[in-house]
Amino acid sequence: MSGRVLITGATSGIGRQLALDYRRSGWQVWGCGRDEERLLGLESEGITPLQFDTRNPAAMNAVAGTLPALDLLILNAGNCEYMELAEGFDGALFARVIETNLIATGHALAAFLPLLGAGARLAIVSSSVSWLPLPRAEAYGASKAALDYLADTLRLDLAGRGIGVTLIRPGFVETPLTAKNDFPMPCLVPVEEASRAIMDGLTAGHHQIHFPRRFIWLLRLLGALPVGLWLRLGSSLVSKGRHS
């Protein structure tokens, strides 16, 4: 199967690997980001680079006006910052993360959703973090939990138009985003494996893609614990230092 795909956050990590793998599979790929040098790198791989900040709706609307209909739209651009509550609730950090991960996804939907018709698919990259409240993840976790709801609602509202919606919830993946983490990351997977899991799931038309399996089961199990029990376990993680 091949077609036309636009991927946000394609200059690094998961999005970059997806862009390369879709291109190698014969797809026409538009890869988006802000970093000019890395966008040029995509171009040398046969990917059409699109430069914009996803927090800028006007820039995305202008780009969308130049594009043909798409078969697949992958909204992947995002960032992660952890909160140090000992220093007080950091409202600016909270706003930054919510803006990049959630509000900007809304701007991207406004610009690019009109390019999807019957038979096309929208994919939103959330995270496995929303299965379990994790220490220091107030902003990141809240932004991703909101994306889960957004995708689930869009799936209902777009079904009548023949547009499928897939929610992607990766565990830890080796990328520049996780390279800066200073805590153990259980079941960390290479970015190539993440890309394969996502592409397979999208080809199969899955409503949700989550991986790696053993990590997801662990999160779901812990997430099903009574709140008081998780409070004790989670708090002991905090006292030991960093979390996943």
Ligand X SMILES: NC(=O)c1ccc[n+]([C@@H]2O[C@H](COP(=O)([O-])OP(=O)(O)OC[C@H]3O[C@@H](n4cnc5c(N)ncnc54)[C@H](OP(=O)(O)O)[C@@H]3O)[C@@H](O)[C@H]2O)c1
Q: Which residues are catalytic?
A: 140
Longest dimension (CA), the chain: 53
Q: What is the dihedral of CA 20, 23, 28, 32, to 10 degrees?
A: 0
Q: Give the contact letters, 23-62, x = binds to ligand X (CB under 6 A), - = no.
A: ----------xxx--x--------------xxx-------
Q: Contact between 177 and ligand X (CB under 6 A)?
A: yes
Helix, strand and coil percent figures for the chain, each rounded to 5: 50, 20, 30
Q: Count residues binding ligand X (CB under 6 A).
A: 30
b (16+ CB within 10 A) / e for 63-97: bbeebeebbbbbbbbbebebbeeeeeebeebbebb
Q: Contact between 157 and ligand X (CB under 6 A)?
A: no
Q: Contact between 141 and ligand X (CB under 6 A)?
A: no
- Beta bridge pairs of residue 211: 170
Are the CB atoms for 18 and 209 separated by under 8 Å? no
Residue 226 CB, nearest approach to ligand X (Å): 26
Identify which of residues 55 and 243 has a Cβ nearer to ligand X in the complex: 55
Identify which of residues 79 and 208 has a Cβ nearer to ligand X in the complex: 79
Q: Which of 49, 135, 170, 201 binds ligand X (CB under 6 A)?
A: 170
Q: Contact between 175 and ligand X (CB under 6 A)?
A: yes
Where do contacts with ligand X occur on this chain (CB under 6 A)? Answer: 9-15, 33-35, 38, 53-55, 76-80, 100, 104, 125, 127, 170, 172-173, 175-178
